[in-house]
Amino acid sequence: MAHKSVTGIQPAILRWARTTIGLSVSQVAARMKRPQDDINAWEEGTSAPTYPQLEELAYGVYKRPLAIFFLPQPPEETTPTKEFRTLPDADMQTLHPNTYLQIRYARAFQMTIEELFDRQNPSGRCIWKLVSLDMHEPIEDQARRVHATLGIDLARQVSWRDDESALKHWRTAVEDAGVFVFKASFKQKDISGFSLLDDDFPIIYLNNSTSKTRQIFSLFHELAHLLLHVSGIAKFDAPYGHGVSVATGDIEVFCNRFSAEFLVPMEDFKQQIRNVPHDVASVSDSQFSKLAVRYGVSREAVLRRFADLGRVDPAFYAKMSAKWTAQKKKPKKGDWYATENAYLSPSFAGEVVGRYYRQQLSVEQAADILGIRVANFSGLEQKIVQGAAG
């Protein structure tokens, strides 16, 4: 039996739903297994999808509630293009639909957090209100100020036993300073994280598919964005910011430089490499690894510091980066509850469970806020209480 076209759908809603997840007409047509002319006709209002087609568009392609397609006009929503206005158009055009979706999830979490905490950040020392970064001031002085504000000095940093412990401690410090840190496994592998600016509830999202050391570097790259008072997206960059526009490159290069100086202070680094051969090409992997372990960073981050000293040429940097990338092991699949807990901001998740214990939220409400099924709440609740995120 043939299905009739749905009436009452505004073409503008269909265009809005497509563009806000970063899809072209041809991509939608391919996913729907329909001619491009059909998609164009729907968006021009000369025809309309059937109800089954609309359901597929809503749930399968655009990831939106079905009811939204019957609104008289597109709802007001901050789009990634407006959110990340410092990024060049070329970078925005390469964002994967899953990245658009993760940004949408982050925005939803931000709105939920605002309500959950009664529009009052739980931190008594919001770092972005205490410290601002300036791209024209000495990077070393600014990194020291952020260290002092977070309350973690180099002696404590180098005492952490491994990169997993380091990530957990750094994440806790940033959360204690009022920034909510979430994770997700991005399908777009060249995105290492992003940040959403807000006067009271800024968010950092890290790509959990990357190594712990990369997540640590991205955490402080994104914190730098927030302390510059802009939202940002961290992509795996070519050495020395090559290929990035001047206007945007200044910000991205600065954020990389800040993260490098914050995690591997140059003054201490020079002391540690006094007996290392000047020719970096003759430095052994074990020497790179020893330095990386000291600071809780990757070998590539150590190589970057040698590059900052002018001791690495781009060809050698690219060669070693490719070599170390090839050596990385794929992460093993672990406990689902532990993974979901690691994805959630500890401050956010702890508040949800706390309100559930105080009977301010039902189990259904708590599960909905956490984005899980009610049947999974008990298992995740135990992980949250144990404080296993990191």
CA distance 13 to 72: 8
Predicted pLDDT at 175? 97
CA distance 29 to 382: 44
Closest CA to 28 of 20, 39, 37, 19: 39
Q: Topology of 11-77 in CATH?
A: 434 Repressor (Amino-terminal Domain) (1.10.260)
Range with the poorest average pLDDT among 125-129, 219-223, 261-265, 284-288: 284-288
Answer with the residue of higher pLDDT: 69 or 243. Answer: 69
- Residue 304's SS3 state is helix
Residue 67 near residue 58 (C-beta atoms within 8 A): no
Q: pLDDT band at residue 235, thresholds of 50, 70 and 90?
A: confident
103, containing H or E segment: helix 97-116
Q: How many residues are there in the chain?
A: 390
Predicted pLDDT at 239? 45
Q: pLDDT band at residue 219, thresholds of 50, 70 and 90?
A: very high
Domain ranges, ordered by start, for the chain:
11-77, 80-263, 265-331, 335-386
DSSP state, residue 85: T
Q: Strand 232-235 relative to strand 191-196: parallel, antiparallel, unpaired?
A: antiparallel
pTM: 0.89
Could you read off the pLDDT of 49-71 as tens digits, one per residue?
A: 999 999 999 999 999 999 999 99
Residue 281, pLDDT above cutoff 70 = yes
Q: Summarize the confidence of residues 83-108 as an average pLDDT.
A: 83
Predicted pLDDT at 55? 95
